[in-house]
Chain A
Amino acid sequence: MQPFERHEGLTAPLRQDHVDTDQIIPKQFLKSIERSGFGANLFDSWRYLDEGRSDQRHTQRAINPDFILNRPGFAEASILIAGVNFGCGSSREHAVWALLDYGIRVVIAASFGDIFRQNANNNGLLTIALPEDVVQELMQHSEAGGHRLGVDLQSCLIEELSGGDTREFAIDPIARQKLLQGLDDIGLSLLERSAIEACEQRRCSTEPWVFAPLQDREPSP
């Protein structure tokens, strides 16, 4: 996955608390076993006026002009600003895939659903939790349109690119390492390669039949 060091981009405010993963990507669009292509159905029930079927092309659907990502100047947003408990609900990893597939790289919110945050860390989506009043302030800036931020994970700083305060943010050190190096849980575990190989050697010498082929068997009367 793509390492995350620094990202500069346009913000969009999603004035909503408790955005759950079913709102991020409704379950009727989870039928595919692919990981890509979910961006078209991101926030589906807010973005479109019709109900939407999984076999429908999104370009043919009726757009809800009031939804923030459909308003002029916000469609290109890559930094989403939301209220409390963003990503609560079902554990579906598709919610993170849909955000990334749409082009979102950073979500700033007052708080996050735990599993959503784990999934985000595993897929290179940076989630930043800030105090509620700071989130409100960012939302106000964002609503004016054309609001750009620089998010630096090395220094854990958020810069106002059109002038203004630079803010610090805190992040779990393991999550930071994973994002900086572009490692998901598996990538992180693979750093233990030599210990894995040592254990494999040990298994080979103490219980070699673990590695042997099976016997062919047939029923007998």
Chain B
Amino acid sequence: MSRTLFEKLWDAHQVARAGGNADYIYIDRMFLHERMGSVALRKVLDRGRRVRAPKQVYGTIDHIVDTRPGRGGERTQVPGGEVFIRAMRKGAERTGIHFYDLDDRRQGIVHVVAAEQGIALPGMTLVCPDSHTSTLGALGALCWGIGISEAEHALVTRTLKVARPQTMQVRFEGELGRGIGAKDLALHLIRSLGADGGRGCALEYAGSAVQGLDMSGRFTLCNMAVEFAAFSALIGFDDKTGDYVKNRTPSALDGTFSDWVSDPGAAFDRSAELDVSGLAPMVTWGTNPEQGVAIDEAVPSPLDCPDIEAAGGALHYMGLTPGERIQGKQIDYAFIGSCTNARIEDLRAAAEILRGRRIREGVQGVCVPGSSFTKRQAELEGLDRIFIDAGFEWRESGCSMCFYAGGESAPPGARSISTSNRNFEGRQGPGVRTHLAGPQTVAASAVRGRIADPREFLK
């Protein structure tokens, strides 16, 4: 019988039934970070338990750590954050998990590192106490975000009790124009079907536009699935996946992964198809990711939005007027970073725009590579010089301004354009107005000092 990729992954990892529509699912690998992983490790030890397979568990420091140059020790801008950094180090040492500390060349944002270092591979299950773990589904692996109690459970039992999600296929058809990337696809999807559109579903992305994406773009697309309320997201194995994992697997495994695709004719519980030829760069105007428009569109009237009150509140918070154009809004802050858009391909794309240009006076530009490995790669290619010469800060790797945790922030009321994944009120600091966009749109906007169309720079 033909099965979807999700069903194959589920069957391969099913341990036992767990009542209702839940199963115990075997967890191949885990990734922990200092903000949540430290607490989970501590709970395991406090209850006198042990980590069942410490060599299948990886940890690093990304959420709280300072990303400004010269960091080290427990330096953080988050009040009280030192406790978590210390606890992570101690927990890792006491349980014997793999741990990439700040001085390790593999340190970085969990989801970037997990792909880059070959921790997640096709056909695996991987969980991490961070909602954007779905990123890794681009490899044809079942990966999802969990809470602290579940992390503790998975550490001790190597299983999780999971209610079986529905399957949903999302097809993007058409050829993407120059300057249009995976972030634009994701924002277009969420705008079209709503921030709740994938609730309870394991997504599988397919279609010619997805086939055309490089692995980095596929990670971005799967990363944003959680902003679409999905359980996780998958992309079937193909030549691009094969090339990506070639140097990341322990031995020659050519062909081994080719079954990690949905069988022809396999049935999904739900499906959607979007024509994306002619798609323009997307920018969010509001405070949830479905509140987005194409760069050449106007900010909508709340009367035209599904939830009038929410849209009105969002416009007020964002300091926007219905009907005004999003393009040309003056910005104060530009952030290129996060597990969504800080891989080497994202940095190259932004650098293509920034090369030989300066960002507008008065704009603070911050670039935070997704991993220390990515940072070194970028420096080998001379991208750091391009960012620095353009006036961007060139940082050490970490989550940084993807979220505000009491430390680093832009001033209240500042308008930020950001490659990160959430535009919620206060996400980048109290009163900060966040516009989500792809790396080329952010770079172009930093140069203009206003929200700008990257295609004007790519002619």
Interface residues of chain A, those whose CB is within 8 Å of chain B, are 1, 31, 33-35, 93, 122, 184-186, 189-190, 192, 195-196, 198-200, 203, 206-207, 209-215, 217-221
- B394 adjacent to chain A (CB < 8 Å): no
Smallest CB separation, A9 vs chain B (Å): 25
- B185 adjacent to chain A (CB < 8 Å): no
CA distance A199 to B158 in the complex (A): 10
Whether B156 lies near A186 (C-beta < 8 A) is yes
Whether A196 lies near B157 (C-beta < 8 A) is yes
CA distance A185 to B249 in the complex (A): 35
Query: With contacts A189-B161, A219-B380 known, what are 6 further pairs, Cβ within 8 A?
Result: A1-B47, A33-B87, A186-B152, A192-B159, A214-B250, A215-B247
Whether A221 lies near B381 (C-beta < 8 A) is yes
CA distance A200 to B124 in the complex (A): 13
Return the contact of B43 from the options A35, A192, A206, A220 (Cβ within 8 A): A35
Q: Is the interface of B mostly helix, strand, loop or mixed?
A: mixed
Return the contact of B119 from the options A203, A206, A214 (Cβ within 8 A): A214
Smallest CB separation, A92 vs chain B (Å): 11
Whether A209 lies near B377 (C-beta < 8 A) is no
Mask of B115-127 contacts with A, CB within 8 angstroms, 1/0: 0111101011000
Return the contact of B117 from the options A35, A192, A195, A214 (Cβ within 8 A): A214
Whether A215 lies near B380 (C-beta < 8 A) is no
Given contact pairs A190-B156, A215-B250, A199 touches B119 in the complex (Cβ within 8 A): no
Whether B159 lies near A189 (C-beta < 8 A) is yes
Given contact pairs A33-B87, A199-B15, A217-B117, A185 touches B247 in the complex (Cβ within 8 A): no
Whether B250 lies near A213 (C-beta < 8 A) is yes
Given contact pairs A33-B38, A33-B39, A214-B250, A209 touches B24 in the complex (Cβ within 8 A): no
Note all chain B residues with C-beta closer than 8 A to A184: 47
Return the contact of A206 from the options B12, B29, B56, B105 (Cβ within 8 A): B12
Whether A195 lies near B15 (C-beta < 8 A) is yes
CA distance A203 to B123 in the complex (A): 10
A to B CB contacts below 8 Å, 19 in the list: A33-B38, A33-B39, A34-B42, A186-B153, A189-B24, A189-B161, A190-B156, A190-B157, A192-B15, A195-B16, A196-B24, A196-B158, A203-B12, A207-B123, A209-B250, A211-B56, A213-B55, A217-B118, A219-B380
Point out which of A93, A206, A215, A220 has the most chain B C-beta atoms below 10 A from its C-beta: A215
CA distance A192 to B14 in the complex (A): 12
Smallest CB separation, B302 vs chain A (Å): 31
Return the contact of B377 from the options A1, A212, A219 (Cβ within 8 A): A219
- B164 adjacent to chain A (CB < 8 Å): no
CA distance A215 to B156 in the complex (A): 26
Which 4 A/B pairs are nearest by Cβ-Cβ distance? A219-B377, A212-B250, A195-B16, A199-B26
Note all chain A residues with C-beta closer than 8 A to B270: none
- B13 adjacent to chain A (CB < 8 Å): yes
Return the contact of B249 from the options A34, A186, A209 (Cβ within 8 A): A209
Whether A210 lies near B117 (C-beta < 8 A) is no
CA distance A214 to B121 in the complex (A): 11
Smallest CB separation, A70 vs chain B (Å): 30
Mask of B76-88 contacts with A, CB within 8 angstroms, 1/0: 0000100110010
CA distance A149 to B253 in the complex (A): 66
- B373 adjacent to chain A (CB < 8 Å): yes
Whether B157 lies near A215 (C-beta < 8 A) is no
Note all chain B residues with C-beta closer than 8 A to A195: 15-16, 24
Return the contact of B118 from the options A35, A189, A214 (Cβ within 8 A): A214
CA distance A42 to B47 in the complex (A): 22
Smallest CB separation, B113 vs chain A (Å): 11
Mask of B97-117 contacts with A, CB within 8 angstroms, 1/0: 000000001000000000011
Note all chain B residues with C-beta closer than 8 A to A207: 12, 123-124
Note all chain A residues with C-beta closer than 8 A to B152: 186
Whether B377 lies near A185 (C-beta < 8 A) is no
CA distance A211 to B55 in the complex (A): 8
Task: State which residues 361-385 of B face A: CB under 8 Å.
Answer: 373, 376-377, 380-381
- B2 adjacent to chain A (CB < 8 Å): no
Query: Which residue from chain A places its CB closest to the CB of B147 in the assembled complex?
Result: A91
Note all chain B residues with C-beta closer than 8 A to A1: 47
CA distance A48 to B123 in the complex (A): 56
- B49 adjacent to chain A (CB < 8 Å): yes
Whether A217 lies near B247 (C-beta < 8 A) is yes
Whether B16 lies near A192 (C-beta < 8 A) is yes
Task: State which residues 249-282 of B face A: CB under 8 Å.
Answer: 249-251, 253
Whether B83 lies near A33 (C-beta < 8 A) is yes
Query: Which residue from chain B places its CB closest to the CB of A174 in the assembled complex?
Result: B19
- B66 adjacent to chain A (CB < 8 Å): no
Note all chain A residues with C-beta closer than 8 A to B376: 218-219
Whether A35 lies near B250 (C-beta < 8 A) is no
Point out which of A1, A93, A185, A209 has the most chain B C-beta atoms below 10 A from its C-beta: A209
- B304 adjacent to chain A (CB < 8 Å): no
- B192 adjacent to chain A (CB < 8 Å): no
Point out which of A31, A122, A210, A220 has the most chain B C-beta atoms below 10 A from its C-beta: A210
Note all chain B residues with C-beta closer than 8 A to A198: 15
CA distance A33 to B34 in the complex (A): 12
CA distance A185 to B162 in the complex (A): 13
Return the contact of A192 from the options B24, B56, B124 (Cβ within 8 A): B24
Note all chain A residues with C-beta closer than 8 A to B84: 33
- B208 adjacent to chain A (CB < 8 Å): no
Mask of B217-254 contacts with A, CB within 8 angstroms, 1/0: 00000000000000000000000000000011111010
Point out which of B42, B156, B157, B158 has the most chain A C-beta atoms below 10 A from its C-beta: B157
Note all chain B residues with C-beta closer than 8 A to A122: 149
Whether B373 lies near A217 (C-beta < 8 A) is yes
- B62 adjacent to chain A (CB < 8 Å): no
Whether B159 lies near A185 (C-beta < 8 A) is no
Smallest CB separation, B364 vs chain A (Å): 28
- B46 adjacent to chain A (CB < 8 Å): yes
- B28 adjacent to chain A (CB < 8 Å): yes
